[in-house]
Amino acid sequence: MSLLVVTSPHAHGPMSTSGVMRTVLLATVPGIAALSYYFGAGVIINILFGGLVAILCEALALSLRRQALKPFLTDYSALVTSTLLCIALPPYAPWWLLVVGVSFSILVAKHLYGGLGYNPFNPAMVGYVVLLISFPLQMSTWTTPLGIAENVPGFMEALRACFNPSSFDAQTMATPLDILRQNNGMLLSDLYASNPQFGAFQGVGWAGVNLAFLLGGLFLLYKRVFTWHAPVAMLLTLSLCALMFYDEGSSASGGSPLFHLFSGATMFGAFFILTDPVSSAVSNRGRLVFGALIGLLLYTIRVRGNYPDALAFAVLIANFAAPFIDNYTQPKVYGHREGPKA
């Protein structure tokens, strides 16, 4: 007679994989709404078309590996990956950019490593970095946000931008992070006065987008999809770095802590990218180190590197370090304490 031996912990989480993934998708809604309010419908087309490509790639990979299609296709994990990638991409990206990025995320970053639960790198960020290195021009054209522009492109225009890129001609503008990176010898007050991208509160549009993602992230935290450690460590480190170098005067000092917290992909990254349970560190202490490392790298590359928003690079490098961090932050077994060495 064989008995099934089950080791602790015996507690059972109420959420299934697909439940978690659905909650994450739900939590991106405020951010997507804010993005499409400020930048137009491009992000929605990105997500819809990217999702389609993701499902096709997932089905292809699963059938090549002779795995069951239904349980893996209906766990929404491919959709979450493609949605996160498509949010990070600039709106009005041409269709081939989406195809290359999403298929690289799903096929190489996820399925080459064995599929869901094994990927050492965050698939969405792998796709983003591949695109950023290969197609820097398409990856850095952001349209003018509402508030500076009179109106933003609608749904039909976004469709045209995606599938017939040559016919689409939108007004584009450097993002606040670009401007700060490219101007090192000015007074901040002059810089703010001469560029309409800096609004009443940080970057026009970007502050709203970041606030919306913060909202979605807090919802996930409330739902206990992840623990607070990694996001808090990252945001704290980022603010601390900014605080250390910011002098309120020159544009070479790298922007205020608030500017960094509400620019680019900060909040999106902190709550939706860092918290990937597979590619981040495992223990709570490890997550603190992991988040702090990302905050430090993010600030360094933003202010000193070639890429104005470096979240994807920071996350990949930290993913790369995560197994090593885990090795040194293993929690002690309950009841054991460090005694004198035998």
Partner 1 sequence: MLADYSLLLIGAILVNNFVLVQFLGLCPFMGVSNKLETAMGMSMATTFVLTLASACSHLTYHYLLLPLGLGYLKTIAFILVIAVVVQFTEMVVRKSSPLLHRVLGVYLPLITTNCAVLGVALINTNKSHSFIEALLYGFGAALGFSLVLTLFAAMRERIAVADVPKPFSGAAIGMVTAGLMSLAFMGFAGLV
Residues that bind partner 1 (CB under 8 A): 65, 108-109, 111-115, 118, 120-121, 126, 129-130, 133, 297, 300-301, 304-307, 310, 312-314, 316-317, 319-321, 323-324, 326-327
In degrees, to the nearest 5, what angle opens at C-alpha 122 toward C-alphas 118 and 126? Answer: 120
Give me 216's structure tokens: 């979605």
Considering the complex, state which of residue 271 and residue 299 has its C-beta at the smaller distance from partner 1: 299
Q: How far is the CB of 167 from partner 1 (least distance, A)?
A: 33
The neighbouring-strand residues paired with 198 are 203
Considering the complex, state which of residue 27 and residue 238 has its C-beta at the smaller distance from partner 1: 238
Q: How far is the CB of 33 from partner 1 (least distance, A)?
A: 30
Cα–Cα distance between 271 and 225 in angstroms, integer?
A: 10
Considering the complex, state which of residue 79 and residue 109 has its C-beta at the smaller distance from partner 1: 109
Q: How far is the CB of 153 from partner 1 (least distance, A)?
A: 31
Interhelix angle 42-64/29-39, rounded to 10 degrees, is: 130
Q: How far is the CB of 114 from partner 1 (least distance, A)?
A: 4
Q: How far is the CB of 304 from partner 1 (least distance, A)?
A: 5
* Full DSSP string of 80-114: HHHHHHHHHSPTT--HHHHHHHHHIIIIIIIITTT
Considering the complex, state which of residue 145 and residue 308 has its C-beta at the smaller distance from partner 1: 308
Among residues 246, 268, 259, 258, the alpha carbon closest in space to that of 312 is found at 268
Yes or no: say if 205 and 35 are a contact pair by the CB < 8 Å rule. Answer: no
**Distances 117 to 36, 41, 232, 296 between C-alpha atoms, Å:** 31, 32, 24, 27
Q: How far is the CB of 67 from partner 1 (least distance, A)?
A: 10
Considering the complex, state which of residue 157 and residue 326 has its C-beta at the smaller distance from partner 1: 326
Considering the complex, state which of residue 154 and residue 331 has its C-beta at the smaller distance from partner 1: 331
Yes or no: say if 44 and 86 are a contact pair by the CB < 8 Å rule. Answer: no
Considering the complex, state which of residue 99 and residue 108 has its C-beta at the smaller distance from partner 1: 108
Q: How far is the CB of 310 from partner 1 (least distance, A)?
A: 6
Yes or no: say if 257 and 295 are a contact pair by the CB < 8 Å rule. Answer: no
Q: What are the φ/ψ torsions at residue 146 (nearest 5 degrees)? A: -60, 140
Yes or no: say if 263 and 202 are a contact pair by the CB < 8 Å rule. Answer: yes
**Distances 78 to 51, 97, 273, 325 between C-alpha atoms, Å:** 8, 17, 14, 27
Tokens 């059972």 found at: 12
Considering the complex, state which of residue 151 and residue 306 has its C-beta at the smaller distance from partner 1: 306
Q: How far is the CB of 320 from partner 1 (least distance, A)?
A: 5
Considering the complex, state which of residue 81 and residue 319 has its C-beta at the smaller distance from partner 1: 319
The 8 Å CB, 24+ separation contacts for 127-130 are 127/85, 127/101, 127/102, 128/85, 128/88, 128/89, 128/101, 128/312, 129/312, 129/313, 129/316, 130/100, 130/101, 130/104
Q: How far is the CB of 246 from partner 1 (least distance, A)?
A: 19
